[in-house]
Amino acid sequence: MKDQGSVAGWDAARYHQVSDPQWRWGVRVLDRLEPVTGERILDLGCGTGRLTSEIPARAPGASVIGIDCSRPMLAKAREHFGPVAAFAQADGTALPFGSIFSAVFSTATFHWIHDHDTLFREVHRVLMPGGRLVSQCGGGPNLEGLYTRARALRESGRFRGYFGGWIEPLNFQTVEATASRLQSLGFGDIHVSLEYAETPFPSIDAYEQFVTTVCLRHDLESLPDELRSSFAHEIALAASKDDPPLTLDYWRLNIDARKR
């Protein structure tokens, strides 16, 4: 889904090109999923479908549905992977399904959803008894360095006037809050953990392209076109002087549970 807020703003073609970090993390989540032939699996927040397409490749005969809020993401998913999976536009807090899924799989999505109570209630509802949730998202102090720098820039004289009424688009939850939430909603076999995923980039241009497409999209949407590149470039230039340089401080929240 990669976004529950401003769904029209994703550059799906660029995301498909630069999202290798998300791909690598997602492959590890797929290893935990262990899909089985004959299962029906929901990819909640499928983006451009790169990981969705891996599920039937690992479990021929599995039925896979990828959902996302973003039309551009879904168009790219259908373009590349339409023959191997079904794709539909849907909201993670209002899933248009009954209790039909053996598993709900999700990567790099839940942190875009503000209402985690409703999100996990919906996941629980669409799972069959014994069905499993296998997921990962940003959590804890995820990208604290980047977003602290972006906050300071938003509040600086040059950019301040464009961020009146700013609403934080991201929701990075803790291990404890997530485990408690899942337990209260009726999940069992709950395993929640946080892992550091330091992500370096080889050049200022690569770093800037990535954060422009993925991390700072909402910031840049608030700015006029003529200021967007300078906002992103100032952050990239500052990151080049960090130790280590041009490195994003990603933290991944791993969430596994089973419907009782």
Express each pLDDT in 170-208 by its tens digit.
999 999 999 999 999 999 999 999 999 999 999 999 999
Give the DSSP letter of residue 212.
I
pLDDT (average), residues 54-75: 96
Has residue 36 got a pLDDT over 50?
yes
**In the chain, where are the structural domains located?**
7-140+168-199+250-259
pLDDT category at 7 given cuts 50, 70, 90 is very low
Question: In angstroms, rounded to a whole number, what is the distance separating the alpha carbons of residues 226 and 212?
Answer: 14
Whole-prediction pTM: 0.93
Cβ-Cβ contacts under 8 Å for 44 (sequence gap 6 or more): 1, 67, 92, 95, 104, 105, 106, 109, 123, 135
Q: pLDDT class for 19, splitting at 50, 70, 90?
A: confident
Position 2 scores a pLDDT of 40
Percent with pLDDT over 90 in the chain: 92
pLDDT at residue 4 in the model: 40
> According to CATH, what is the number of the domain 7-140+168-199+250-259?
3.40.50.150
Q: Report the pLDDT value the prediction gives residue 214, as an integer from 0 to 100.
A: 94
Examine the pLDDT at 1 and tell me if it is beyond 50. no
The tens digit of pLDDT for each residue in 41-54 reads 999 999 999 999 99
pLDDT at 6 over 50: no
Residue 209 burial by Cβ neighbours in a 10 Å radius (0-12, 13-18, 19+):
middle
Run of H or E including 7: none
User: What's the pLDDT band for 16 if we cut at 50, 70, 90?
Assistant: confident
Q: Say if residue 62's pLDDT is above 50.
A: yes
**What percent of the chain is predicted at pLDDT more than 70?**
97
